[in-house]
Each structure stands twice: as C-alpha cells, then as structure tokens.
Amino acid sequence: MARSGRKRKVGERYPSGQIRPEDTGPSPTQTKRLMMAAVAGMADAAWSTIPGIYFLSGKISPIEYEAAKRFGQLLERYTACLQGPRYPRTSSAEKGSVGAPVDVESDAGIAEVNRHVSVMQRYNDAHVVLVGHGMLVEAAVLNFCSGLGQTPNGYENLLRAKRGLNALAELWKINEKAAPKQEPPQVV
C-alpha cells in the first residue's frame, strides 16, 4: 500500500504485487521455435542466427545487422582459407580429374590463390579496425558473428558488439541503402 503523498505505480502486476515489465519483444520460447523453423526452412532465415534475432527484435539497427552478416561470411571464408587448399573429392590417378589437387601454376590455381589473398586482406582490414576499438570489442564481435552467433554476455558486451559493428559498417561503407529494409515481423 502506498504511503500518503506517494503515488502508486500503475501497471500490470504479478501475484506477488511486483509490477510486470513491459513486453519488449517475443518470448524466449517463441524465439526458439522461430529459430528451429528457420533452420528447417519454414520461417525467415534471419531467425536462425543470433544477429538476426537481435535485428528482428529491434536490438540492433539494420546497418549493424548488415555488418554482422558480412563479417560472419568473411569469418567463414577466412577460416576456410586457413584450412589450406581443398582436399581432392575422388581418388583418381588421372591428371586433371576432379580428384587431382589444384596445380598452383595453372589458371585455376592462380585464381584460388588470388581468392585466398583477397579474403585474407579483407579480414586483416576488419581485424585492424576492431582491434583499434579494443580487444574486448573484437572479442564481442567475433562471438556475436561467428557461426550462428552467441548471445552477448551482459549489456556492456552488447554495446561493445554494436560499437564494433558500427566501425565495420564505416569501413565497408554500409549505409541505409545497403542495409536490409525488412521490418521485424509480428510474432503471434
């Protein structure tokens, strides 16, 4: 009961009497169901990643989401480049067959080397920008964007990830035109 002179806070209450916070987004159960549906191809693909969930729930901007998608793809290509040349798919002793390793002197070998060099240079540029904002920012962006992503641990890590994503958006010149124009869907 409110003391005299103090106004009682208005809002929906739990049975214990505490005020319920306003619903700011979809429930975790609905989010998990949408994520599983996206993986199965039945819902928007953005629900299948943590950056996509944060974008669709309005926690990151479209520009930050586009930077997260690009960095995630770049990180995937970078790790593939670190694995070295692709292994042969079949075992064939015939030169030039699908199973033969790529000859570095051939046109296909030179194209693959150029692709690897391009990916390494783009990743190194992004790495320099992120480290310029601090090692914690780099770690937050790497965790947020790698694979399906990891939920930032606390509000400070979310702010660090957002700062790093904005720095990457500046590096890659992502603006409102390049960012996705998708509005968050209504979750039922």
Tens-place pLDDT, residues 155-185: 999 999 999 999 999 999 988 876 766 654 5
How many angstroms from the chain centroid is the CA of residue 113? 27
> If pLDDT is split at 50, 70 and 90, which confidence band does 98 have?
low
Is 37:52 a contact under the CB 8 Å cutoff? no
Closest CA to 54 of 31, 86, 72: 31
pLDDT of residue 188: 44
pLDDT of residue 149: 82
Q: Which residues pair with 13 in a beta bridge?
A: 19
Is 38:45 a contact under the CB 8 Å cutoff? yes
Q: pLDDT for 111-168, tens place per residue?
A: 888 888 999 999 999 999 999 999 999 999 999 998 878 888 889 999 999 999 999 9
pLDDT of residue 27: 75
